[in-house]
C-alpha cells in the first residue's frame, strides 16, 4: 500500500513514512486487506487528512477505532457513510448539538461537512478487521497518530481539541495547553453519556473560542 495521504500532510509527516514502524505497519495492513475484510475501504483510510488540510485545522476530535460493521466506516471518527444507520455514539452527539445550539437532527451521519470546515476527525487506529473491534490496535497506527497530534500541537496554535472519554483524554500528554484549548467530556456512548456528555456544550464552546480568535465558527 502506497502512502496516499494528502500532500499538505505528506509534506509535514514525511519523516514518518520512512521509519521502520511505519513500514511494518503498512506490511501488516496490506496483508490484512488482502486476506480479510477490513474497514474503511483502502481509499478512505486517510480520509480525515484528505478532507481537512493541515493549514485548515481548527478543531481536532479524537476517536479510537473505525466502526467495524459493514459499510459504516468512512475514515472519519464517529462518522458513517450516507444512508447508513447512525451508531449510538453519533446519535448522542447529534442530540447534544440539538440541545446545545438548537441545530436540527441531520438525516445523514456523514461528517465530511465538518472536516471540510477544518475539523480533523482522527481515529487513533485507522483500520480494523470486519466485526473485530480493536483488531488493528498496537500495530503502529497509534505511533503515527500520536505524531500527528504532537505535530499539530507543535506547529500550530489556538487549535481546539475535543477529548471525549478516557482514551481520548490520555492523548492530552501530546498537546501543549499553553498554546491550545482542550475541552474534555465523557464519551458520548450510551455507557457514559449520562455522566456528563449531555450538557457539556462543547459545540457552542468551540465556536465561542473560534470567534474570539477571529476564525469562522463551525456549522455543526
User: Hey, which residues are catalytic here?
Assistant: 65
Closest C-alpha among 153, 204, 160 to residue 58? 160
Q: How far apart are CA 1 and CA 178, in angstroms?
A: 38
**Side-chain-facing half-sphere of 191: CA atoms under 13 Å:** 4
Q: How far apart are CA 99 and CA 81, in angstroms?
A: 24
β-pairing, 38-39 vs 128-129, is antiparallel
Count the neighbouring beta carbons within 10 Å of the beta carbon of residue 150.
Answer: 15
Amino acid at each position: 500500500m502506497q502512502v496516499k495521504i494528502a500532500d499538505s500532510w505528506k509534506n509535514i509527516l514525511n519523516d514518518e513514512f520512512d521509519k521502520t514502524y511505519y513500514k511494518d505497519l503498512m506490511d501488516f495492513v496490506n496483508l490484512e486487506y488482502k486476506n480479510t475484510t477490513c474497514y474503511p475501504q483502502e481509499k478512505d483510510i486517510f480520509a480525515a487528512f484528505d478532507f481537512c488540510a493541515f493549514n485548515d485545522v481548527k478543531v481536532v476530535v479524537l476517536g479510537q477505532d473505525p466502526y467495524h460493521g459493514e459499510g459504516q466506516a468512512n475514515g472519519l471518527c464517529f462518522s458513517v457513510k450516507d444512508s447508513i444507520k447512525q451508531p449510538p455514539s453519533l446519535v448522542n452527539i447529534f442530540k447534544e448539538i440539538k440541545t446545545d445550539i438548537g441545530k436540527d437532527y441531520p438525516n445523514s451521519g456523514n461528517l465530511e461537512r465538518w472536516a471540510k470546515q477544518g475539523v480533523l476527525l482522527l481515529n487513533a487506529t485507522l483500520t480494523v478487521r470486519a466485526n473485530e473491534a480493536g483488531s488493528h490496535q498496537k500495530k503502529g497506527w497509534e505511533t503515527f497518530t500520536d505524531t500527528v497530534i504532537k505535530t499539530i500541537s507543535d506547529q500550530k496554535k489556538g487549535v481546539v481539541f475535543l477529548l471525549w472519554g478516557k482514551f481520548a483524554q490520555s492523548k492530552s500528554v501530546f498537546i501543549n495547553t499553553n498554546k491550545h484549548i482542550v475541552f474534555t467530556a465523557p464519551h458520548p456512548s450510551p455507557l457514559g453519556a449520562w455522566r456528563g456528555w449531555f450538557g457539556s456544550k462543547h459545540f457552542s464552546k468551540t465556536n465561542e473560542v473560534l470567534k474570539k480568535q477571529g476564525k469562522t465558527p463551525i456549522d455543526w
